[in-house]
Chain A
C-alpha cells in the first residue's frame, strides 16, 4: 500500500498508457475480453486516483522525480536547480484529476453498448485511454515542456475521436477544425516555453516561478500562453471550433473532449497564478480574464437560443458556462494582491469558479449523453423532428430534466450552489458583472425549457412512435453522473470544504508550490 501511495502519480499515467497499446492486441480475441480488460484497468486506475486524493488531502503537495535515487528527490546532490522531469501534485491538480476520472468512468460504461456494429472498436477504446493519459498528465505535470507534450497527446487523441465516424462528412470536418486549432495553440505554447527557457535556463514550473523577474520578454510569454490556452478552452472570440467538434463526437467521447478543454483552463490558471502570481499588483490580468469570461457567457447563450440541433445548442451552452468559471477565477486574480479584498470576496469567487468546473462537467456530460441516447434511438439531432419522447424513453427524459435544472441553477441541484457563490462574491466586486451573469442564467433556462417542450412532451412524431428505451449500460453510465449531481447539490458545504477550498489555497499560495520542489534554497 505504501508502494502504491508513493508511486501513484506515475502509475495513474503509465498503466492506461500501456493498456492503450495492449487493447488492439487483445481485441483480436473478442469484444468481451477487450471490454473486460478495459474496465478492469480503468477500475484499478480509479482506485489509485482515490488513494492519491486521500494522500494529497493529508500530506499536502506530492512530488515524483523520474529517474532519481528516491521519489521525492527533486534537486539532485550538488545541484541548485531541479534537472529531472518532475510530477507535482497539489490540491488543484488532484481536483481536476478527480473530475477527469469520474467522467471517463461514466463515459466508458456508456460506450460499451453504443459501439456495437461499428468497425475499429479497439481503436476507440485505445484512443479514450490515450485521451485520459493526456489529461491526467496535464493535471499532474510540474514541468513546462511536459505540459506541451501532454497537451498534444490529448489534442491528437481528441481529434481522432471526434472524427471517428468517418462515414459522415460533418464528423471529419469537426475533427479537422479541432486538430488545426490545437496544433496552432500548441506551437504558440512551445514558442512561449522557448522564451522562458532562454531567460532562466530551467524548465520546471516551480523553478521558473522562483527565478522569474517580470521583464518584457516574460510579458510576451504570458500573452502568448494566454492566447494559446484561450484558443483551447473555447473562450470567445476564439470559440469557433467548439460547436462543430462537440456536436459530431460519438458516444462517450464528447464528455471527455469537454473535460480536455477544462484541463487547458487548469493549465492557464497554473501558469498565471503560480508563475506570475507574485507580480500581479494591478488588476489588468484579472480584468482580461473577466472580459473573456463575460463575452463567452453572453455570446454563448445568445447563439444557443435559436439552434435546432440539440447537441449544437448544448455545445454553445458549454461555451457560456465556461465564461462563469473564467469570471469567478478572474475576480480572484484581480484582487490577489489586495489581502483585505481577497479575504472578503476573492476566496469565495475562486471557490465558486472552481466548484463550477466540477458541477459543469458533470451536468454537461449528462446532457450530452442524453442527447446521444436520443440520437442512438432516432438517428437525428434536429429538434424539429422530435416529439413526445417522454412516453417511451422515461429514463432519458428524467436525466435530461436533472441536467437542465442543474444548468439553470435551480436548487437542490449542484448548479445552484456554485452559481450562488459566484453571484454573491462578484456582486461585491462589481455589480454589473453579477447582473449579466444572472441574465445569462435566465436565458439558459429558457432555451432548455424550449427544447424540453418541443422534444419530450407533445404528440409523438409518426416516424418515431415505436422507439424503445436505450440499453442498460448507457443508463448505468448516465445514472452515475445523475447521482453525483444530486449529491453535490444536497451537500455543497461538504464538497467545498473537502476538495474546493484546498484547491483555492493551492492556487493562491504559490510559495508552497515552489518550496516543495526547491526546498529551502534561498
Chain B
C-alpha cells in the first residue's frame, strides 16, 4: 500500500484510463487501435491499481471466477462470428450490407463512419474483453505468486 495521495489519485485516474481504453477498442476499424491495443491500455490501468494498492486488496475486488467467464465469453463470441459465415466460407464477412454495422465506407480520405466494417467492430469488442480478462489474470496471478499466495482454482 502506498501513501494516501497515491491511492486517491489512482482511484480517480482509473476511470479516465478505462474510458480511453474502451475508446481505442471501439474505434479499431477506423483509427489505429483495436482489440489487443485497447485491452492493453485498460490492463495498464489495472497494473496502476496493483501498484497503488496491495495485490491482496485487489484480489477482494476482482474475483477470479468473473475473469474466467469474461475470457471464455470473448473467445466464444469470436468463434461464433467466425463460424456464422460458414454458409459461404469460414470467416466470411456476412454483416456487410446488413443493418448491423453494415454501411459501405467511402473511398479516399473521409472523416470516418463508425457504423461500417461488418463484423470487425464486434470482433474488436470480443478480443478486447478477452485481452482485459486474460492479461489482468496474468498480472494478478504473478503479483500474488511472488508475494507467496496462490490464486484459487
- Residue numbers of A with Cβ under 8 A of B are 7, 10, 14, 17-18, 21-22, 24-25, 64-71, 119-120
Q: A65-B89, A70-B88 are contacts. A24–B82 as well, Cβ < 8 Å?
A: no
Name the distance in Å between A79's Cβ and chain B's nearest Cβ: 17
Known: A67-B93, A69-B89, A70-B88. A18 touches B153 (CB 8 A): no
- With a cutoff of 8 Å between Cβ atoms, the chain B residues found around residue A68 in the complex are 89, 92
Question: When the two chains form the complex, which single residue of A14, A24, A25, A119 contacts B90, counting CB atoms closer than 8 Å?
Answer: A14
Contact partners of B89 in chain A: CB under 8 A: 64-71
> Which residues from chain B sit less than 8 Å from chain A, CB to CB?
68, 72, 75-76, 79, 82-83, 85-86, 88-93, 153
CA distance A162 to B125 in the complex (A): 33
7 contacts between A and B (CB under 8 A): A21-B79, A64-B89, A65-B89, A66-B89, A67-B90, A67-B91, A70-B88
Task: Decide if B72 touches A14 in the complex (CB within 8 Å).
Answer: no
Residue of A with least CB distance to B76: A21
B71 to chain A, nearest CB (A): 8
Known: A7-B90, A66-B89. 15 other contacts (CB 8 A): A7-B86, A14-B83, A14-B90, A18-B75, A18-B76, A21-B79, A22-B72, A22-B76, A24-B72, A64-B89, A64-B90, A67-B90, A68-B89, A68-B92, A71-B89
Q: Which of B85, B89, B91 has the largest count of A CB atoms less than 10 A from its CB?
A: B89
B72 is contacted by which of A7, A25, A70, A71 (Cβ under 8 Å)?
A25
Number of CB contacts from chain A to chain B under 8 A:
42
Say yes or no: A119 contacts B86, CB within 8 Å: no
Contacts of A67 in B (CB 8 A): 85, 89-93
| B91 contacts across to A, CB distance below 8 A | 66-67
Chain B residues closer than 8 Å to A25, beta-carbon distance: 72
Chain A residues positioned under 8 Å from B83 (CB to CB): 14
Query: In the bound complex, do residue A18 and residue B68 qualify as a contact, i.e. CB atoms below 8 Å apart?
Result: no
CB neighbours of B92 from chain A (8 A): 67-69
The complex places the Cα of A66 from the Cα of B88 at a distance, in Å, of 10
- Decide: B88 and A14 in contact? CB cutoff 8 A: no
Task: Collect the chain A residues with CB atoms within 8 Å of residue B72's CB.
Answer: 21-22, 24-25
A18:B79 contact, CB within 8 angstroms: yes
**Beta-carbon nearest neighbor of B74 in chain A:** A21
State whether A14 and B79 are in contact (beta carbons under 8 Å apart), knowing that A7-B86, A65-B89, A66-B90 are contacts in the complex.
yes
Q: State how many angstroms separate the Cβ of A413 from the closest Cβ of chain B.
A: 41
Inside 8 A of A18's CB, which chain B residues have their CB? 75-76, 79
Minimal Cβ-Cβ distance residue in A for B83: A14
Q: Which residues from chain A contact B153 at a C-beta distance below 8 Å?
A: 119-120
Report the bound CA distance from A69 to B76 in whole Å.
24
Chain A min CB distance to B41 (Å): 24
- Closest B residue by C-beta to A122: B153
Question: In the complex, what distance in Å separates the CA atom of A70 from the CA atom of B90?
Answer: 10
A40 to B1, CA, bound (A): 49
